[in-house]
């Protein structure tokens, strides 16, 4: 299987995020992708390729022009305001109920308008890394369209929390949604399976009113897990999209036996949808020793996950999302891909 990777993610390295009432060391760090890349090489998964540049058009198909404009200039505006040596940009005020969104205001107004959390800082290299992650996902999509059975988009920063006009949850642009929309624009019918521990609120919102893209997510119940405000079981799609959204929130400490049942259910729904391609938001933070999550999957369970996904018998694009246990991340990521390739 081909892996797509770009070194520009190394320049996106905010050292801290604001969480739990304090600045705390970032968990979404460059070493995540570097370790996975090394493991892809070690286990000879296939070639590691640089992405092609798809330009801004595929991004504009999914994201609001104001968000894109802001992300492109946020770091510069922030440093003009707070100085060259200022820490990464993090919002400190939001247009919550009754307040007015200000997409053309100063940098603080625009940060508050477009960000939904304090865990997604912007540094100088963020925009280039976010663009490269999109190109990585699109290059994977193009490989699938060209006839590959599977491809791995080793993207960073992740994407599934970013909606049309919001960034957050370590995500700036929604890599998998942009790839799914690209498939639609190529005349193909995509389904998305999101196995990250966190609900992909951004991906869900982007396709919520549409029947041409199915979104299925397995995740920690938002009653205790981030993103807290979306991802409940009663969100089934709206309007033309009614029935094209499936959320399977699960309890704390969910292990493989329960997880496998939910995965089978999701794949049944995907098969019934009869897509041309499957896109997988591949988050590995369901691991038992993940530092920010509360599921109990074990190393070997990820081989089963890959085999189970392969049984759907669809051309499959894996897009990297979360996963924060650096000692296990590389092994369990490639376990899924290996399991798929052997399944
Ligand atoms: C837990 C705090 C949670 C934010 C978690 C973001 C998760 C991001 C992710 C992605 F795939 F996007 F990277 N803070 N105490 O894993 O879903
Ligand atoms: Zn996650």
Q: Which atom of ligand 1 is nearest to the CA of 161?
A: 12
How far apart, in whole angstroms, are the C-alpha atoms of residue 94 and residue 96? Answer: 5
Determine whether 161 is an active site residue.
Answer: yes
Q: Render each residue's pLDDT in the chain as its tens digit; 343 residues.
A: 999 999 999 999 999 999 999 999 999 999 999 999 999 999 999 999 999 999 999 999 999 999 999 999 999 999 999 999 999 999 999 999 999 999 999 999 999 999 999 999 999 999 999 999 999 999 999 999 999 999 999 999 999 999 999 999 999 999 999 999 999 999 999 999 999 999 999 999 999 999 999 999 999 999 999 999 999 999 999 999 999 999 999 999 999 999 999 999 999 999 999 999 999 999 999 999 999 999 999 999 999 999 999 999 999 999 999 999 999 999 999 999 999 999 8
* pLDDT attached to residue 191: 99
* pLDDT attached to residue 343: 85
Measure 106 CA to ligand 2 centroid, in angstroms. 31
Of 12, 161, 199, 219, the active-site residue reads 161
Task: Write out residues with Cβ below 6 Å of ligand 1.
Answer: 19, 28, 119, 158, 160-161, 169-171, 196, 198, 226, 283, 285, 292, 321-322
Q: Which atom of ligand 1 is nearest to the CA of 281?
A: 11
Please tell me the residue having the least CA distance from ligand 1 atom 10.
322
How far apart, in whole angstroms, are the C-alpha atoms of residue 163 and residue 169? Answer: 11
Query: Is this prediction's pTM over 0.85?
Result: yes
Measure 285 CA to ligand 2 centroid, in angstroms. 6
Query: For a substitution probing ligand 1, which of 12, 90, 161, 227 has the most ligand atoms within 8 Å of its CB?
Result: 161
How far apart, in whole angstroms, are the C-alpha atoms of residue 114 and residue 120? Answer: 11
Measure 11 CA to ligand 2 centroid, in angstroms. 21
* pLDDT attached to residue 203: 99
Q: Where in the chain does DSSP place strands (E)?
A: 2-4, 16-19, 22-25, 48-49, 150-153, 190-194, 214-220, 245-250, 277-282, 316-320
Measure 146 CA to ligand 1 centroid, in angstroms. 33
Contacts of 247 (CB under 8 A, 6+ apart): 199, 204, 217, 219, 231, 232, 233, 235, 236
Measure 106 CA to ligand 1 centroid, in angstroms. 27
Q: Which atom of ligand 1 is nearest to the CA of 321?
A: 11
- Give per-residue burial for 309-323: e unless 16+ CB within 10 Å, then b: bbebebbbbbbbbbb
Query: For a substitution probing ligand 1, which of 9, 158, 230 has the most ligand atoms within 8 Å of its CB?
Result: 158
CA nearest to 46, candidates 168, 143, 179: 143
Rounded to an integer, what is the distance from CA 39 to the centroid of its chain? 20
* pLDDT attached to residue 323: 98
CA nearest to 199, candidates 175, 224, 226: 226
Spell out which residues have Cβ within 5 A of ligand 2, the ion: 196-198, 283, 285, 322
Please tell me the residue having the least CA distance from ligand 1 atom 6.
169
Q: Which atom of ligand 1 is nearest to the CA of 157?
A: 13
Query: For a substitution probing ligand 1, which of 154, 159, 170, 227 has the most ligand atoms within 8 Å of its CB?
Result: 170
Going by the DSSP 8-state scheme, the letter that residue 8 receives in this structure is G
Please tell me the residue having the least CA distance from ligand 1 atom 9.
322
Measure 123 CA to ligand 2 centroid, in angstroms. 21
């Amino acid at each position: 299987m081909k892996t797509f990777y770009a070194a520009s993610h190394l320049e996106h390295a905010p050292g801290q995020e604001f969480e739990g009432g304090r600045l705390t060391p970032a968990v979404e760090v460059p070493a995540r992708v570097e370790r996975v890349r090394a493991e892809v090489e070690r286990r000879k998964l296939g070639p590691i390729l640089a992405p092609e540049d798809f330009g801004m058009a595929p991004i504009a198909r999914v994201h609001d022009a104001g968000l894109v404009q802001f992300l492109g200039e946020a770091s510069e505006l922030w440093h003009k305001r707070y100085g060259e040596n200022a820490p990464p940009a993090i919002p400190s005020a939001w247009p919550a109920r009754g307040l007015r969104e200000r997409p053309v205001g100063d940098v603080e107004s625009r940060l508050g308008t477009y960000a939904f959390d304090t865990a997604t800082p912007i540094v100088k290299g963020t925009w280039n890394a976010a663009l490269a992650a999109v190109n990585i996902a699109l290059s994977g999509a193009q490989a699938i369209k060209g006839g590959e059975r599977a491809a791995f988009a080793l993207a960073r920063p992740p994407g599934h929390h970013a909606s049309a006009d919001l960034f957050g949850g370590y995500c700036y642009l929604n890599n998998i949604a942009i790839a799914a929309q690209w498939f639609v624009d190529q005349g193909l019918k995509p389904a998305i399976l999101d196995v990250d521990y966190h609900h992909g609120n951004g991906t869900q919102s982007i396709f919520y009113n549409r029947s041409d893209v199915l979104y299925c997510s397995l995740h920690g119940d938002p009653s205790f897990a981030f993103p807290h405000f979306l991802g409940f079981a009663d969100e089934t799609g709206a309007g033309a999209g009614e029935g094209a959204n499936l959320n399977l929130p699960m309890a704390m400490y969910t292990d493989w036996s329960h997880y496998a049942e939910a995965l089978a259910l999701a794949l049944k729904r995907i098969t019934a949808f009869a897509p041309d391609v499957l896109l997988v938001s591949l988050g590995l933070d369901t691991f038992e020793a993940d530092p920010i999550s509360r599921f109990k999957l074990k190393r070997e369970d990820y081989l089963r996950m890959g085999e189970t996904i392969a049984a759907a018998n669809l051309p499959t694009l894996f897009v990297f999302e979360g996963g924060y246990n650096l000692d296990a991340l590389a092994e369990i990521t490639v376990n899924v891909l290996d399991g798929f390739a052997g399944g």
